[in-house]
Chains A and B, each alone.
Chain A
Amino acid sequence: MMEENVFILHPSEIIRKGLALILQEYFKMEITQLSSINDLNSFAAISNNLIIVIIQKGLVLPEETEERLRKNNQFNMVSLSASTDMEGVTEGYDYDLNVLASNLEIQKLIQVIRKSASKSKAATVENGDLTQREKDVIRQIALGLSNKEMADKLNISIHTVISHRKNITEKLNIKSISGLTVYAIMNNLLDISDINPEELI
């Protein structure tokens, strides 16, 4: 699940707080309220998130910041206008919102943005049990073998060893060699007498 950041950029505290309250009522998302557009510069380093900037209509972001955020994130800019005359989406913004919008309309908008973001997101890794081969690899990792040694021993290419290791880490969410060693022992892939705990763990 991609992390979500919502920024509400508006000089009016009433509007910032009110909109934040409405959003929090329906969605669990990180909301940052900023009174000045330049404050967003401090967040330009965000990457790989879904970002929704709700901004007073007419305001534009510092160019460099917007470019950077767009490049590294699913970036959506929503204009918030005070007048009710809607003429389609205004240039420079991805979506339009009106201060008179109902709760329902606000919810809908967020859902549309979320949907479009999840469409462009890459397929997630399957999260299953380890295959026999992956268990073999963990055992060798725990015994302290290098990728090359493992490849020779298991009769597979180094490339395959590396790909197994990547899958193991993704499935178990354990990255360090000592962590994998502990995993192997706790799950009886290895007996503690096979290793020197002082050295490996």
Chain B
Amino acid sequence: MKIFDKENKISSLVSTNSNLLPVINRFGIQLGFKEKTIAEICAEKNVNPDFFLAIVNTYTNENYFPEEELLEFSPLLLIDYLKTTHKYYNEYVLPKIERLLDAVMKTCRENCSSLKMISTFYQKFKVELHIHLTQEDEKVFPYIIDLYHNRRLTEGKTIGAYEDEHTSVEEKLSDLKNLAIKYLEPTYDSNAMNEFLQTLFQFEKDLYDHARIEDLILVKQVMRIEESLKTNAAR
């Protein structure tokens, strides 16, 4: 693992960690990089390079935590990014998982009741995730945008109060995986199941990193704004 900097080639980023492909897409960056460095491509696409690096490094290194000076970019940038990610989950990943699960179900010939339970459980997870994403899109992000523009604290509202529920969604996804791996009778086609599970694994990692970006970067930035407003108000 390494920490990427502005002088690294963007192609080396993707070769080191192919999971970054959808991440860089969210910045409007697509393949065909030639020999361009991160700094060059960011300038070309009008992306704040510090912001870009904070995201890709947090994504690549489990234990990475951007330092203060790397958090100077506007939280509005981050919110745009997170919204795009939510859209990617809702419009691409979840339908894909569902399609793969359907494909597994279709291969089941007998004793399919356990598999149906897995499917019901998946639906439950999906609903919960959807509520969580909607809550962020409709409540948390507007709160931050308002705070940023108007520089005014609202009685009883803080980012701390919104900070919640990642864990329960993550718990369910992990349970779903474990149930399928450990307790499900193999009455299905293995290839179909493997594909479904691999996508779940990938999504689990993605959600985990997504949550880390929210907790480590966004929440931190917002707390800093709240703190400074509180100090000003006290004066």
CA of A18 to CA of B173 in the docked complex: distance in angstroms? 40
Q: Which residues of A contact B65 (CB under 8 A)?
A: 42-45
Interface residues on B, range: 20 to 34
Q: Which residues of B contact A185 (CB under 8 A)?
A: 114, 117
Interface 0/1 of A155-184, CB less than 8 Å to B: 000000000000000001111101100110
Q: A176, B178: Cβ atoms under 8 Å?
A: no
Interface positions of B from 138 to 187, Cβ below 8 Å from A: 168, 171-172, 174-176, 178-179, 182-184
Asked whether A186 and B172 contact (CB < 8 A) given A31-B1, A45-B63, A178-B124, the answer is no
Q: B120, A173: Cβ atoms under 8 Å?
A: no
Interface 0/1 of A8-33, CB less than 8 Å to B: 00000000000000000000001111
Q: A179, B175: Cβ atoms under 8 Å?
A: yes
Q: Which residues of A contact B174 (CB under 8 A)?
A: 173, 175
Q: Which residues of B contact A45 (CB under 8 A)?
A: 63, 65
CA of A53 to CA of B1 in the docked complex: distance in angstroms? 14
Q: Which residues of A contact B171 (CB under 8 A)?
A: 175-176, 179
Q: B178, A172: Cβ atoms under 8 Å?
A: yes
Q: A30, B1: Cβ atoms under 8 Å?
A: yes
Q: Which residues of B contact A49 (CB under 8 A)?
A: 63
A81 at the interface (CB under 8 A from B): no
Nearest Cβ in chain A — how far from B234, in angstroms?
27
CA of A17 to CA of B182 in the docked complex: distance in angstroms? 40
Q: B184, A42: Cβ atoms under 8 Å?
A: no
Q: Which residues of A contact B57 (CB under 8 A)?
A: 42
B91 at the interface (CB under 8 A from A): no
Q: A176, B120: Cβ atoms under 8 Å?
A: no
Partner of B121, one of A32, A187, A192, A201: A201
Q: B121, A179: Cβ atoms under 8 Å?
A: yes
Q: A34, B1: Cβ atoms under 8 Å?
A: no
Give the 9 A-B CB pairs with smallest separation, nearest first: A179-B175, A175-B171, A46-B63, A186-B114, A174-B175, A45-B65, A43-B63, A176-B171, A182-B117
User: What residues of chain B have their CB less than 8 Å away from a CB belonging to chain A?
Assistant: 1-3, 57, 61-67, 113-114, 117-118, 120-121, 124, 168, 171-172, 174-176, 178-179, 182-184
User: What residues of chain A have their CB less than 8 Å away from a CB belonging to chain B?
Assistant: 5, 30-34, 39, 41-46, 49, 172-176, 178-179, 182-183, 185-187, 192, 197, 201
Q: Would you list 11 pairs from A and B whose C-beta atoms are within 8 A, ordered by A residue? A: A30-B1, A32-B2, A32-B61, A34-B3, A43-B63, A173-B174, A175-B171, A179-B178, A179-B179, A186-B114, A186-B184
